[in-house]
Amino acid sequence: MLKANELSKSYKEVKALSGISLKVKKGELYGLLGPNGAGKSTCINILSSLIKPDSGEVFYDGKSLSDNRKYCRQILGVVPQEIALYEDLSAFENLMFWGKLYGIKGKALETKIDELLKMLGLFDRRKHKVKTYSGGMKRRINIAAALLHDPEIVFMDEPTVGIDPQSRNLIFEVIEQLHAKGLTMIYTTHYMEEAERLCDRIGIIDEGKIFREGTLAELRKASSIKEEIKLKFSNPEKNELIDLKEKHEQNLIVNEHQLVLSSNQSDVDLPLLIQGCLASHLKIENISISNVNLESIFLELTGKSLRD
Ligand SMILES: Nc1ncnc2c1ncn2[C@@H]1O[C@H](COP(=O)(O)OP(=O)(O)OP(=O)(O)O)[C@@H](O)[C@H]1O
Ligand SMILES: [Mg+2]
């Protein structure tokens, strides 16, 4: 089990982490969900011993990870937020380089590289220089690099940001395969859909603190919001949507063609909302009611929205 006690870290006046504690069980996929600047990378970098906290400690199976670099290198794999590859080398050569750093050599290394390149859908392009790759392909090599030495825990810091949908789906599939094999993983994201799809447990992080954690079902249960009412319009007028938002204050999220009302009494709220829409001459195209999602839970806990 990975265990972190009261991790804190400041950069001059910026408090990046303020006392984060968490536990991740063997085989668990733990997600840190939070917006830009929440402290996700700082947390991952401390958990994986890349940087030192100002206070607090990280343990793996009861063993402290501080000042134990060799042990950390052996058991941890990290997919950093910033891609680190040699552009003039091929995927294969980059992975040979990383493998040797981990002390793997010869046929064993080549076999492992081939296996990972196949798993990540890059085998056919393995001899091409990295500079000819798309962002998503580079990200997949970064993932392969973190898996070369068969680590026990893998940290992935927003591995799907800024990449094409095809690479994104492939990365999801790979993560699901690794999870099924029992690898312990810590995954950061600011996309609620990813946290909902992939993670066994989710920590909601903002301003260096974990506001709440649990399975999706537990987070939903603990939320005072139970449901989300979504209305889509065929003639959305911005001013009219904004008028509606003012009437419902914080609980209403307005997008371009739709609005989402967080509710714990949809039987009462829905008729009122429809009346409001009719009075504003908004034409309703579609109505749906679903379980509360992580975006609304995040808003409820932090008073902020996950995305800008
Ligand atoms: N090396 C650094 N020097 C100064 N400030 C830093 C440094 N690293 C992080 N910070 C600050 O600490 C806070 C947390 O940053 P962190 O990178 O951990 O957030 P994040 O959740 O990973 O954000 P993002 O989604 O943008 O990657 C931010 O306010 C950031 O500006
Ligand atoms: Mg980050």
pLDDT tens digits, 46-79: 999 999 999 999 999 988 888 788 888 889 999 9
Of all ligands present, the nearest one to the C-alpha of 43 is: 1
Of all ligands present, the nearest one to the C-alpha of 51 is: 1
Cβ–ligand 1 contact at 41 (below 6 Å) = yes
pLDDT tens digits, 72-125: 888 999 999 988 899 999 999 999 999 999 999 999 999 999 999 999 999 999
Q: Which residues surround ligand 2, an ion (CB under 5 A)?
A: 40-41, 81
- Provide the pLDDT for residue 281: 83
> End-to-end CA distance of the chain, in Å?
35
Q: Whose CA is nearest to atom 13 of ligand 1?
A: 16
pLDDT tens digits, 255-291: 777 888 888 888 888 888 888 888 888 888 999 999 8
Q: Is 181 left (phi over 0), alpha (psi -120 to 50) or beta?
A: alpha
Pairing of strands 29-33, 201-206: parallel
- pLDDT of 299 higher than 90: no
Q: Whose CA is nearest to atom 1 of ligand 1?
A: 11
pLDDT category at 250 given cuts 50, 70, 90 is low
Please indicate, yes or no, whether the overall pTM of this predicted structure exceeds 0.95: no
pLDDT category at 308 given cuts 50, 70, 90 is low
- Provide the pLDDT for residue 225: 85
Phi, then psi, of 167 in degrees rounded to 5 = -65, -40
* Residue pointed to by tokens 């052996």: 74
Structural domains of the chain, ranges and CATH numbers in brackets: 2-221 (3.40.50.300), 227-291 (3.30.70.100)
pLDDT category at 248 given cuts 50, 70, 90 is low
Cβ–ligand 1 contact at 14 (below 6 Å) = yes
pLDDT tens digits, 163-207: 999 999 999 999 999 999 999 999 999 999 999 999 999 999 999
- Provide the pLDDT for residue 249: 62
If you average pLDDT over residues 144-172, what whole number do you get?
95
- pLDDT of 252 higher than 80: no
Alpha-carbon Rg for the chain, nearest whole angstrom, is: 22
- pLDDT of 226 higher than 90: no
* Residue pointed to by tokens 């579609």: 286
Q: At what angle do helices 106-119 and 135-147 cross, to 10 degrees?
A: 140
Q: Whose CA is nearest to atom 17 of ligand 1?
A: 41
How far, rounded to the nearest angstrom, does the alpha carbon of residue 195 sit from its chain's CA centroid? 6
Mutate to test the pocket of ligand 1, among 11, 18, 47, 50 (most ligand atoms within 8 A of CB): 11
Mean pLDDT of the chain: 91
- The Å distance, Cα 190 to ligand 2 centre, comes to 9
Closest CA to 91 of 125, 139, 136, 119: 125
> Are 88 and 129 a contacting pair, CB within 8 Å?
yes
Mutate to test the pocket of ligand 1, among 13, 33, 40 (most ligand atoms within 8 A of CB): 40
If you average pLDDT over residues 4-21, what whole number do you get?
96
43-57, 121-135, 228-242, 247-261: range with lowest mean pLDDT: 247-261
Cβ–ligand 1 contact at 39 (below 6 Å) = yes
- The Å distance, Cα 257 to ligand 2 centre, comes to 31
- The Å distance, Cα 87 to ligand 2 centre, comes to 23
- The Å distance, Cα 44 to ligand 2 centre, comes to 9
- Provide the pLDDT for residue 268: 87
Instruction: Residue 125: count other Cβ atoms within 10 Å of its Cβ.
Output: 17
Closest CA to 147 of 79, 81, 97, 89: 79
Which residues have CB under 8 Å from 293's CB, separation 6+? Answer: 192, 196, 228
